[in-house]
Amino acid sequence: MLTIFSIPKPFKDSHIINIQTNAILSWLNLSKDIEVILAGNDYGVDEFCQKNNIFHIKNVQCTEAKTPLLNSVFDLIRIKAKNSILMYINADVILTKDFLKILNFLPHEEFLIIGQRLDLNIKELINFSNNKWEHNLNQQIKEKKIVHAPMGSDYFIFKKKSFQNLPPFAVGRISWDNWVIEEGLKKMLTIDASPLYKVIHQNHDYSHKTNKSQAEDKKNISFSRENRFLATLKDVKYIITKNGINKKTSSFNNAPKIIKKKLYYGFISFLKIIRKSTSFGIKICKKIAKFINIPIFYLERSECEKLKDCILLANLLEHQPPNSDRYQEYPWMLKNIKITSGKILDVGSTASNMLYDFLPKEVEINSIDLNPKEITNKNIRFSIGDIRQTIYPENNFDVITCISTLEHIGVAGRYNSDDDQNGDVKAMSEMKRILKPNGFLLITVPYGLRDVLPINKLYNKERLTKLLSDFSEVSIMYKKYQKKYGLWLTVNENEAAKTDMLTDSWYAIAFIKAKK
């Protein structure tokens, strides 16, 4: 029937013990015909396998930091598994018996089945001897679940012969699931089972993420570098419903990303011409934008009048979930840049191409980043450099933009950054040095109660006050994603500060405009 395999974390932390026990026992509870195999030598795995009569693969190749390598596990599973259909799943994901419906629709040809997850806070061990455990869990899901964004996948169902070319990805690190989806899209029938069933992910913190794990993140990304666009669930063309496998309803949003990019830039050139004509030209632009499903409704009314910017935003935002920061940050940035001449510096190079199309040609656009960047316009002055110490002279720029960048500075392994606890403080000092008197610094940073992501700093009132103390004027706006309404709403500092990513599903954002 099916072999389910996974690579658990160490059975040390009490919460991890509970959620991994819940997950693995739920798989064993599905059917006697399903084989479960656990891999890896982490603490407590062998004991758990012996206690629950689970086959254990021990001789797994690992990174220098002792993190299991997925290609080694997949190779060993192909040898040890009794069944021809395999399923890799993360060790904190619960399956109920409704999951078995997916197995009724397995294709004959080579395939990959993936899907979205529901995020749920579960702290206690589930009593599987209670016949109502699934009913109780479903009630909890109705009341408290969060549907995770359709980005990667927490499980993969495929035939035993598939993915023999899997690179040596470190498990539990980023990018590898996107690689698997991309490989599936290229070589086999890839299907999203989310409409039929969503797996249940039990929330946890990310304390297992360390500087070593960030280095492994970077290594994983290097294996995916040949894929310019990271594939996600949104790229999958087929779905499983109660009626079987069906092709997704055709729409522009389901087109391959590379085609979208070319079309978007083609529309930019076209819209630049007709939007300069009359109000009738603007109406035509809006109709075109609506026809190709550009998310204009995420922008403020004043920005909607600049349709070329909406197109650029749509290009940048495609495949971002509705709670993405970018839907809020870019319109805010464009709205607050008032200059018609002079110099602007884009730190992190997140918006350089957009700025060039948005600003008058008299504005000199500069861009700086630690890494090489694809800047599509040769008139943008791009430099590889560290914003903590630049070669720019004092009092050089009229505006500096730093969108979703400051929080990554000094986070080891993130965008090639080193480990520097005060990296953001140094960056702010340098940006103030190179900003002209009366010039403006536009920054966005994540804001909230605690950070569960190992890839950025999270800010609060105390840290922002320290960063902004040397500026003459500072205005800060806060926005928070309200999952109840599916909208970003402006909130006060107190409410933004209470945002908890574990319960609110996202952090708040601080939008900072600081005058030198």
pLDDT per 10-residue tile (average), the chain, 516 residues: 96 95 97 96 95 95 92 96 97 96 95 94 93 93 78 91 94 87 93 95 68 70 61 88 86 50 52 51 54 38 39 48 72 86 90 76 90 73 92 96 90 70 92 96 89 69 91 93 71 88 74 95
Count helices and strands in the chain by DSSP H and E runs: 16, 21
Q: Which two tokens stand for residue 293?
A: 């499903």
What sign for the dihedral angle of Cα 11, 15, 19, 21? positive
Contacts of residues 82-86 at CB distance under 8 Å and 24 or more positions apart, as own/partner, are 82/3, 82/35, 83/1, 83/2, 83/3, 83/35, 83/160, 84/159, 84/160, 85/1, 85/2, 85/3, 85/157, 85/158, 85/159, 85/160, 86/2, 86/3, 86/5, 86/157, 86/158, 86/159, 86/160
Query: Which of the 8 DSSP states describes residue 171?
Result: T
Report phi then psi at 66, rounded to 5: 70, 25
Distance between CA 291 and CA 302 in Å, rounded?
20
Cα pseudo-dihedral 464, 321, 184, 34, rounded to 10: 90
Helix orientation angle between 307-317 and 326-336, rounded to the nearest 10 degrees: 150
* HSE, side-chain direction, 13 A CA sphere, residue 107: 18
Class of residue 242 by CB neighbours under 10 A (exposed 0-12, middle 13-18, buried 19+) = exposed
3-state secondary structure 472-498: CEEEEEEEEEECCCCEEEEECHHHHHC
Q: Which pLDDT belongs to residue 284?
A: 58
* HSE, side-chain direction, 13 A CA sphere, residue 144: 14
Q: Which pLDDT belongs to residue 162?
A: 96
CB atoms within 10 A of CB 80: 15
Domains of the chain: 2-249 (3.90.550), 252-319 (no CATH), 321-515 (3.40.50.150)
336: left (phi over 0), alpha (psi -120 to 50) or beta: alpha
Distance between CA 70 and CA 269 in Å, rounded?
45
Q: What's this model's pTM, rounded to 2 decimal places?
A: 0.58
Q: What residue has token string 């002792």?
A: 66
Task: Evaluate whether 214 touches 417 at the Cβ level (below 8 Å).
Answer: no
Q: Which pLDDT belongs to residue 10?
A: 95
Task: Give the residue from 206, 169, 149 showing the smallest Cα distance to 63.
Answer: 169
Class of residue 134 by CB neighbours under 10 A (exposed 0-12, middle 13-18, buried 19+) = middle
Query: Which of the 8 DSSP states describes residue 395?
Result: S
Q: What Cα–Cα distance (Å) separates residue 199 from each residue in 306, 349, 401?
A: 41, 37, 40
Query: Which of the 8 DSSP states describes residue 233?
Result: G
246: left (phi over 0), alpha (psi -120 to 50) or beta: beta
Instruction: Decide: helix, strand or coil at residue 86.
Output: strand
Model confidence pLDDT, tens digit, residues 322-340:
567 777 888 788 888 988 8
Task: Evaluate whether 357 touches 365 at the Cβ level (below 8 Å).
Answer: no
Instruction: For residue 143, give every residue at least 6 positions away whose Cβ sits within 8 Å of its Cβ, in sequence order, or none.
Output: none
3-state secondary structure 307-376: HHHHHHHHHHHCCCCCCCCHHHHHHHHHHHCCCCCEEEEEECCCCHHHHHHHCCCCEEEEEEECCCCCCC
Query: Which of the 8 DSSP states describes residue 99?
Result: G
* Amino acid (one-letter) located at 370: L
What sign for the dihedral angle of Cα 486, 198, 255, 264? positive
